[in-house]
Structure 1
Amino acid sequence: MSGRVPAGSRSAGTLRVRELRITLPGPRGMADVVDGVSFDMVEGRTTGLIGESGSGKSLTAMAMVGLVPETAVVSGQVLLGDEDLLTAGRARIRQVRGTEISVVFQDPSTALNPTMTIGDQVGEILRSRGLSRSQARERAADLLEHVGIPDAANRVRAYPHEFSGGMRQRAMIALALAGGPRFILADEPTTALDVTVQARILDLLGRLRDEDHLSMLLVSHDLRVMSHVADDLVVMYAGRVCERGGAKAVLNRPLHPYTDALVRSVPSVHVESAIADPLPGSPANPFDRPAGCPFNPRCPRAEDRCRTEVPALREIAPGRLSACHFAELAERTSDTVPRN
């Protein structure tokens, strides 16, 4: 059974982010906390957006659907087909959000309305699409069943607090599917769940992507999550993309020292080592980036050039982009960067 709700007239093509820049006020004035981020979301594929806390990954995802602080200045392009959502206006963004593009939030306990039953919350979206009350109730039960909630016909009458954490997240996913979206933005959807439930939710997202022909953006700080489900990987550091490419290629052979450090810090992901190598230092502050490469204070292989010149994100090999001055050398050798 497919959980897709017929959407009538739908926008064609991929969802493309181009040179996204988000400026926020900080202690020293306005700062680009997201700086020139670009990537594509393609039907049937999961794009992973990964980085440490404060890297700008969640802000990037939320900006795609207009959910940014009022003080933010956003520029660049978010292209739904040929339409730039950043210039489309608030009314159009509200129309797109939940229909063309839906969001699965990190904490369903705050995203779900505690005073309404799960069925009523899903049904509210369905009724806004023209279904009668009885049709919406039946369709809501179908959607809950589609996301793996047992006894869905009866559970539609349950309230969020009557669900476990994993079941609340499944209900949140059903809510996201109710508008018949083409694109799903999942912001840390498994962070609050135990490992076993995490795996089940990730498997569910993968199944829904395939069965409903969705494109997904998965935001996470957890490399294990990305290795489980991502087809493509966008690695962010201090508000910028430092590496981009196919997930398997990026994880097996990183072309940026930050990505390399992330992989080495998770032994189950790194193909050559069973010993974790913790990432030293603290993440760069996007409001006070160091000169040159923002990763240079934490990079054990940084040279003088890294401390003065900002490396451009460029194609190193087909489908592989890196923002490291020495990425070409890394691509030709078994090491990731030259060692002093």
Structure 2
Amino acid sequence: MTAAGPLIEARDLSVHLPGAETMTPVIDKVDFTVGEGRTTGLIGESGSGKTMIASAVIGLLPEAATVSGELRLRDEELLTAGEKRRRNLRGHEIAMIFQDPLSALNPAQRIGRQVGEILRRDGLPRGEVDRAVVGLLDQAGIPDPERRMRAYPHQFSGGMRQRAMIALALAGSPSLVLADEPTTALDVTVQARILRLLASIQAARGMSMLLVSHDLRVMSHVSHDLVVLYAGRVCERGPTKRVLGRPRHPYTKALLASVPAVREASVPADPLPGAPANPMARPSGCAFHPRCPLARERCKVEVPLAREIEPGRFSACHFAEEVTP
């Protein structure tokens, strides 16, 4: 599919949280776009800032957080929009599928009531809301939706709860869905079904998706574009096939090497040494330099800026040209 243009565009997006002495940029000048009808993946180890970025897009950051930079939905700047406007955008323009549906869904309300909340808020009569909810649950692959809409979250399996979360996210016909690790808590076979479901719904509706994951296999099958994050900064971004096919940042290469080969038993996984950097206390210079095999003195003192190393490919590495596949 050819992108018609960016639906979401972030430039120098930063999120600051209170540190020991001052506000600390846990997300530091991040750039990315999500094209119309496309999926952009945010990938990195735990603590890299993936969920924080998704929370910034939908406007659900902690109260103590401050945000700067640019974040545009089509021609509208979201960071300067009032709370009432951001609330109206949630559900209708931007929706979120949370990582843990058991904690995201209200345990005291029936599934149908939760899925239909935005429809009731829009003033639809009860009969129309119920019919729409049945249709949404059916589209999300929940069998016998007329009966299951009366169930409570604890009466659903993990995969069924995630399908209910998808139905809830789709209720307002959003242009953009933020999927935060939507398959992490599910077994492998259920993961595959949920991913196929998301892909089919996206194709049918022409919606865009920002997918948060630490799973390179998921990204390789689902995303069109990829943003690799480390300690709240972008290491590399570009079309998924090109980023994974020929990484141009040592961190991306290390992530790929850490994934066990499925078809080649002779290629063992090579785990990343060390622990991820803490965005609240990054090392000076390039945050990845304590774990990087290409690190030199320059890397310890100078933060590398993302630069276009080939059309559509950006790398924040002083020595990107030396990174071999």
TM, length-normalised to structure 2: 0.95
| 2:244 maps to 1:243 | no
SS at match of 1:169: helix
What corresponds to 1:274 in structure 2?
Answer: 267
What corresponds to 2:25 in structure 1?
Answer: 32
What corresponds to 1:301 in structure 2?
Answer: 294
What corresponds to 2:167 in structure 1?
Answer: 174
The verdict on how the C-alpha distance between 1:178 and 1:283 changes in structure 2, with shifts beyond 3 A counting, is same
What corresponds to 1:8 in structure 2?
Answer: none
Residue 46 of structure 1 deviates from its aligned partner by: 0.9
Coordinate RMSD, CA, aligned: 1.7
The separation in 2 between residues aligned to 1:106 and 1:289, in whole angstroms, is: 26
* Structure 1, unaligned runs of 5 or more: 1-11
What corresponds to 1:288 in structure 2?
Answer: 281
Equivalent residue in structure 2 for 1:72, among 61, 65, 81: 65
Superposed CA deviations along residues 50-80 of structure 1, whole A, max 9, x for unmatched, are 1111111110110111111111111112111
Runs of 4+ in structure 1 displaced over 3 angstroms?
Answer: 268-273
Q: How many residues align?
A: 321
The separation in 1 between residues aligned to 2:31 and 2:40, in whole angstroms, is: 12
Residue 30 of structure 1 deviates from its aligned partner by: 1.8
Residue 272 of structure 1 deviates from its aligned partner by: 11
The verdict on how the C-alpha distance between 1:311 and 1:192 changes in structure 2, with shifts beyond 3 A counting, is same
1:109 aligned partner, one-letter code = L
| 2:101 maps to 1:108 | yes
The separation in 1 between residues aligned to 2:115 and 2:33, in whole angstroms, is: 29
Residue 329 of structure 1 deviates from its aligned partner by: 4.0
1:207 aligned partner, one-letter code = S
1:237 aligned partner, one-letter code = Y
Superposed CA deviations along residues 194-220 of structure 1, whole A, max 9, x for unmatched, are 111111111111111111101000001
2:132 aligned partner, one-letter code = R
The range that moved more, 157-166 or 223-232, is 223-232
Residue 81 of structure 1 deviates from its aligned partner by: 1.4
Q: Report matched runs for 1:76-87 at 5 Å.
A: 76-87=69-80
What corresponds to 2:313 in structure 1?
Answer: 320
| 2:177 maps to 1:184 | yes
SS at match of 1:158: coil
Residue 13 of structure 1 deviates from its aligned partner by: 5.8
2:275 aligned partner, one-letter code = S
The verdict on how the C-alpha distance between 1:165 and 1:84 changes in structure 2, with shifts beyond 3 A counting, is same
Superposed CA deviations along residues 82-119 of structure 1, whole A, max 9, x for unmatched, are 11111001111111011100000011111111111111
1:190 aligned partner, one-letter code = T
Residue 20 of structure 1 deviates from its aligned partner by: 0.6
* Structure 2, unaligned runs of 5 or more: none
The separation in 1 between residues aligned to 2:267 and 2:198, in whole angstroms, is: 29
Superposed CA deviations along residues 202-241 of structure 1, whole A, max 9, x for unmatched, are 1111111111101000001121221221111000001100
SS at match of 1:297: helix
The verdict on how the C-alpha distance between 1:176 and 1:160 changes in structure 2, with shifts beyond 3 A counting, is same
SS at match of 1:306: helix
Equivalent residue in structure 2 for 1:52, among 39, 45, 50: 45
| 2:253 maps to 1:260 | yes
Equivalent residue in structure 2 for 1:129, among 113, 122, 137: 122
Contact 2:6–2:34 (8 Å) recurs in 1: no
TM, length-normalised to structure 1: 0.91
The verdict on how the C-alpha distance between 1:45 and 1:300 changes in structure 2, with shifts beyond 3 A counting, is same
Residue 34 of structure 1 deviates from its aligned partner by: 0.2
1:125 aligned partner, one-letter code = I
Identity of paired residues, percent?
Answer: 63
Equivalent residue in structure 2 for 1:203, among 196, 202, 209: 196
The range that moved more, 150-159 or 256-265, is 150-159
What corresponds to 1:226 in structure 2?
Answer: 219
The verdict on how the C-alpha distance between 1:93 and 1:269 changes in structure 2, with shifts beyond 3 A counting, is farther
